[in-house]
Amino acid sequence: MVDEIGSIGQNNGVMPSENRRSLRYQTLAKARIEGGAEGEILLKDLSITGCCVECTMYIDIKPNTQYKIEVTPETSAKIGNFELLGESKWVRTSGYSCEIGFAILESPKGRAFQRYVDYLNWRSSMGTGSSAAV
C-alpha cells in the first residue's frame, strides 16, 4: 500500500518515506489520466511502485480504482511517452486543484517506464534533483 508523501528535506530529488516500498524521484513530467479532466496534470514524483500527480483542477477520482496514466517524460530524459496502469490510493484536494497518489500495477511499455525511473535515479545521484522543463 502506498501512503501519503513524506517530508522533503535535503534529498537531491528523492522522496524518502519509511512506509514506501521504493524511493520516489521528483519530476515535472506531463501526464494525462484516461477519463480525467482535460486541465493540466503533472507527474510530481515517480518510483517503480507508485507516483503522485497534481491536477490544476478537481478531478473526480474514485479510491482504489484503476486508471490509465499517459506520461510524457521531461524532454531532457530523451525518452518517449509511456502508459501506466495505476490504482488510486489517496486524493488530496485544495480548492480547485488536487493531488492523487497511485500504486503502479503495470506498464505496457515497461522499457520506457524503467528507463525514465533510471534517468530520474541517475539525475538525483548527480545532485541535480530539480526537474527540467517539459
- Please determine, for residue 112, whether its predicted confidence score (pLDDT) is greater than 50: yes
Q: Where are the alpha helices (DSSP H) in 36-126?
A: 110-125
Q: Tell whether the model's pLDDT for residue 5 goes beyond 50.
A: no
pTM of the model: 0.78
pLDDT of residue 16: 40
Enter the DSSP assignment of 23: -
Closest by alpha carbon to 102, among 68, 74, 77, 79? 68
Residue 76: per-residue pLDDT: 94
Q: What is the CATH number of the domain that holds 37?
A: 2.40.10.220
Q: How many domains does the chain have?
A: 1
Q: Summarize pLDDT for 6-48 with one digit per residue, the tens.
A: 332 333 344 444 455 678 999 999 999 997 766 799 999 999 9
Is 81 a domain residue? yes
Instruction: Using DSSP bridges, classify how beta strands 41-46 and 24-33 pair: parallel, antiparallel or unpaired.
Output: antiparallel
53: containing domain: 22-118
- For 67-90, the pLDDT digits (tens) are 999 999 999 999 999 999 999 999
Closest CA to 25 of 105, 128, 106: 128
Tell whether 69 is covered by a domain.
yes
